[in-house]
Amino acid sequence: MYSPVNPPSHRQDTVLPLPLEVKAEAWAVDAACSGNPGPMEYRAIDLQTGYPVFHFGPVHGTNNIGEFLAIVHALALMQQQGIRGKVVYSDSYNAILWVRKKKCKTKLARTPQTEALFQVIERAERWLQTHDVSTPIVKWETAKWGEIPADFGRK
């Protein structure tokens, strides 16, 4: 279970030790997959409170699919709850690109084992195609800032 660490004294907008250039009014998303493909899950963490926003899985899939679905899940939930002014951080360049193109470009085979996941992917793609996205999706700079706070810590 993720537990926040107190921030430095110069940071009053979050319970997490975030770099100054990271906006605290944000959700960080991440996915984890044991094997590729394998059991995959994803989640979001609120950067102001350090608390989990949502968690999905595990289901049979890939890390890239999880990263894509995590972003779409965050965008849809923010819109559904009328949340404005927040940012979504993701450490996955591919997933951010897929969201911008409104298409999950996975090479995962569609099989009976992955059918339920493909239905979730199709739902996410439909949501992207039918909704205007104004929430900024920002690349989390792991090399500069360390692991994204939503990381599952399994590397």
Residues 38-69 have pLDDT tens digits of: 999 999 999 999 999 999 999 999 999 999 99
Q: What is the pLDDT of residue 10?
A: 58
Query: And the tokens for 35?
Result: 């094997």
Q: Please list the residues that pair with 27 across neighbouring strands.
A: 46, 88
pLDDT tens sequence across 90-149: 999 999 999 999 999 999 999 999 999 999 999 999 999 999 999 999 999 999 999 999
Task: Tell me if residue 127 falls in helix, strand or coil.
Answer: helix
Q: How far apart are CA 16 and CA 121, in angstroms?
A: 31
pTM of the predicted model as reported, rounded to 2 decimal places: 0.91
pLDDT band at 2 (very low <50, low <70, confident <90, very high): very low
Q: How far apart are CA 152 and CA 30, in angstroms?
A: 8
pLDDT band at 5 (very low <50, low <70, confident <90, very high): low
Q: Cβ distance 105 to 98 under 8 Å? A: yes
Q: What average pLDDT does this structure show over 77-90?
A: 96
Q: Which domains does the chain have, with CATH numbers?
A: 26-145 (3.30.420.10)
| One-character DSSP codes across 34-96 | SSSSEEEEEEEEETTT--EEEEEEEEEE-HHHHHHHHHHHHHHHHHHTT--S-EEEES-HHHH
